[in-house]
Structure formats: C-alpha cells, structure tokens
Amino acid sequence: MNTKPSFFLSRENLLYLLAAGAPIAFTAWMSLLNNFVVEVAHFDGEKIGILQSLREVPGLLAFTIVFVLLIFRQQTAAYLSLILLGIGTALTGFFPSTIGLYTTALIMSVGFHYMETLHSSLSLQWIDKARAPSFLGKLSAIRSFIGLGTLAGVYILMKFLNFEYQSIYLLSGGITIFLALIAWLGFEHFKDDVIQETKLFLRKAYWLFYVLTFLAGARRQIVVVFAGFLLVEKFGFTVENMVLLLIVNTIINMFAAPYAGKLIERFGEKLSLRIEYLCIVIIFILYGLAQTKEMAVVLYVIDNIFFTIAIALKTYFQKIADPKDIAVTSGVGFAINHIAAVFLPVTLGIVWIYSHSAVFFIGAAIACISFFLTFLMVGKEE
C-alpha cells in the first residue's frame, strides 16, 4: 500500500511543480544578467554577444535529449535537468570572469532547455487530448505567476535589503534545486504508459509540424529581438519602462493563458492557429507603420496575448503523433524552433540598419505563410 500523501500521487501535480521550479532560477538569471556582466564582469558588446549565442546552443541541440533517455527515464531526466538549471544559476555569481560566465551559462542553459523539452513531452503523454489545451494554458499561467513573483522578489531584495548579485543567484538557484529534490524524493515514479523511441528521427508524417515550429521560432525572434529594440531605439523607452512593460505582459499572460486553452478546446487547433497567425500578420504590419510610442506599446501587449495561443501547435502534434514518438519529436521540435535564433537576429539586424519597417513586414510575410499552411493540417479535431 502506498503511504505517500495524495498530492504526491498525481502526475498533474508533478507537472505543476516542475513548471513552477524552472522560472525561479531562469527569471532571476535573465533579469540580472545585463547589469551583472557590465557592473561585475566588465563585459563589452562582443563578450555579451558570445554569451547570448552560447546560451542558445543547447536549445538548438535539444534533440540530443534522445541520448539522455538511453540512460535515464524521462521523469528522472526532468529532475536532473531542473537541478542542472539550479546549479548553473547558483554558481553564476561566483565566477564573474569570461570563461566562468560562459561555463555557468551553458550549464544553466542545458538544464533549462532539457527541462522545457521533457516537461512538454511528459505533458503531452500524461494529459488527455481533450483536456490538454486547458492544462497547458494553466501551466503557462503558473510560469507567468512564478516569474512575476521572482521579478518582485529580486527587486525587493536588491532595492530594500541590499542583496548582492551573488546572493540572489545563489538563492534562486538553490530554491530551484530544492524543488527538484522535493519532486524527486516526494513524488511517485510513474510508469511510462508508452515506451518512447530512443532513436533520432524525422518523420515525413510530421513535416507540417516541423515547418510551423520553425516559422513560429522565426516570428518569436522578431518580437523578442526587434519589437523591444524598436521601443528603446525609436521611442526612447528607459530600463524602468521596459521592466514595467514586462511585468504588465506577465500579468496579462497569467490570466489570458487559461482562456487561450479553453478557446483551443472549443474551436480546435486549426481555427485557433489561423486566428493567431492572421492577427500576427496584422500586428506586424502595424509595427512597421507605428509612429507613436503608445501604438507600439499596445501592439507589444496584444502580440504577447496572441502568442499564448501557440500551445495549439503542441496539442495539434499530440493528436497526430504516434504516442511513442512524443519525447524524441519534442526535442527535435525544440531544436527546430531555435534554428531561427542562431541566424535570424544577425540577418535581420542588417536589414534593420536600412529599414525598421522592413523587418516587421518580413515577420508579417512569415506569419502569412504559417496561416496558409494551416489549411494543410490533417487529423481529427477532438
């Protein structure tokens, strides 16, 4: 007879806990990074650029999770990944040198990207297809809530309690490690319903999922890199303005994500994605035409809301996939999504020099292609 408390016998509770653990370390790491590398490590533009590129490499190599699964079960690999994320974050403040920061960033990033891949895989395997959109929406809301709390905590610790960078990195990384250990030692080690493939592959049947995933990564890079840059360069946003906007977006996502899941359940993945892509086409065109700060801010917030519908691509894959392919394809999909992060910022950065608007019009064209590709989606809407 199992004597564990009922909380630790639920797969859904485990997914909630893992979703809460990752943003604590990652949000703290990201929110402090630029100031830390300048004020403490004395990085110049070249070193910061290399650091950010190195941080994206594990995302590009997320497909290597298949080799990890040759040794560990998915649940155990998720715990180890979360611990690795915590360790990389906790050590960051102790190694404020070029090599030290490159090394800790890689450790942190490997843990984060493997964790995201495994968490997505387990969610799609453990949650019933009919409830998956709502559940993924709840997970997104939890991440936003924890991220918001972490930002507030970092602000209070530094502003009022005079915590140093080293202490905050150690604390946030330590909390993430602690939650990983609670999950590992407390939760039931659930039996896999379907034994996952442990060979790397690309399936012809999933080609549309691969393409839409790549295009989604490209669109996201345009928003992450250039939408914020537009606010700063063209409209003179300060650091305080950008932090406030980030907080507003996080709060909105916290409430909007569950409704996005319900929308997908009601209207299906195909229609939901068409709505998302069509709206993003309009948003990018308006970005390119924006002449006022207020218009750019409104577009930035609305765009963030529509990206919560992107979970429909995951649940579409869940419906068309062979259950044994989910773990490997989640890793491959994560890697495909990150391809754009390697080359697109540099390429469009050159375009940006000549025309800000052209960058966003290219984004509109990418979203338009995604929209038309949804008419090729197959599989029964459940």
Q: Name the token pair of 84.
A: 């690795």
Mark whether 137 and 210 lie in a shared domain. no
Mark whether 372 and 232 lie in a shared domain. yes
Q: Is residue 3 part of a domain?
A: no
Mark whether 122 and 224 lie in a shared domain. no
What pLDDT was estimated at residue 379? 57
Whole-angstrom distance, CA of residue 344 vs CA of residue 156: 36
Q: Is residue 6 part of a domain?
A: no
The C-alpha angle 283, 379, 125, rounded to 5 degrees, equals 90
Do residues 339 and 62 lie in contact, with contact meaning Cβ atoms separated by under 8 Å?
no
Mark whether 39 and 176 lie in a shared domain. yes
Q: Which helix (H) or strand (E) element contains residue 322?
A: none
Mark whether 34 and 142 lie in a shared domain. yes
Whole-angstrom distance, CA of residue 133 vs CA of residue 312: 7
Burial group, residue 239, by CB count within 10 angstroms (0-12, 13-18, 19+): exposed
Q: Is residue 226 part of a domain?
A: yes
Whole-angstrom distance, CA of residue 241 vs CA of residue 228: 11
Mark whether 174 and 309 lie in a shared domain. no
Q: Is residue 55 part of a domain?
A: yes
Task: Indicate the residue among 156, 186, 216 that finishes a domain.
Answer: 186
What pLDDT was estimated at residue 30? 85
Q: Which residues of 269-282 are buried (b: 16+ CB within 10 A; e: fewer)?
A: bbebbbbbbbbbbe
C-alpha distances (whole Å) from 178 to each of 104, 112, 123, 184, 356 are 19, 16, 22, 10, 45
What Rg do the C-alpha atoms of the chain give, in angstroms? 20
Q: List helix spans (H) across the chain.
A: 11-39, 45-60, 65-68, 74-92, 98-126, 132-159, 165-186, 207-221, 228-233, 239-267, 269-289, 293-306, 311-320, 326-354, 356-373
Q: Is residue 5 part of a domain?
A: no
Mark whether 259 and 354 lie in a shared domain. yes
Whole-angstrom distance, CA of residue 15 vs CA of residue 86: 17
What pLDDT was estimated at residue 382? 43
Whole-angstrom distance, CA of residue 15 vs CA of residue 217: 24
Q: Is residue 199 part of a domain?
A: no
Q: Is residue 256 part of a domain?
A: yes
Q: Name the token pair of 14.
A: 């485990």
352: which residues sit within 8 A by CB, 6+ positions away?
A: 226, 229, 358, 359
DSSP code, position 164: -
Mark whether 211 and 140 lie in a shared domain. no
Question: 28: domain CATH number?
Answer: 1.20.1250.20
Query: For the chain, what is the domain count?
Result: 2
Amino acid at 380: K
Crossing angle of helices 98-126 and 311-320, in 10° steps, is 50
Average pLDDT by stretches of 10, the chain with 382 residues: 77 94 93 80 73 80 84 92 97 92 94 93 87 88 90 86 91 97 91 68 85 89 78 73 78 84 88 92 92 88 84 88 82 82 75 86 94 83 45
Which residues span the domain enclosing 79?
A: 13-186
Q: Is residue 307 part of a domain?
A: yes
Mark whether 25 and 113 lie in a shared domain. yes
Mark whether 104 and 130 lie in a shared domain. yes
Task: Indicate the residue among 125, 151, 186 that finishes a domain.
Answer: 186
Mark whether 345 and 249 lie in a shared domain. yes
Mark whether 180 and 80 lie in a shared domain. yes
Task: Indicate the residue among 129, 159, 186 that finishes a domain.
Answer: 186
| Cβ neighbours of 7 (radius 10 Å) | 11
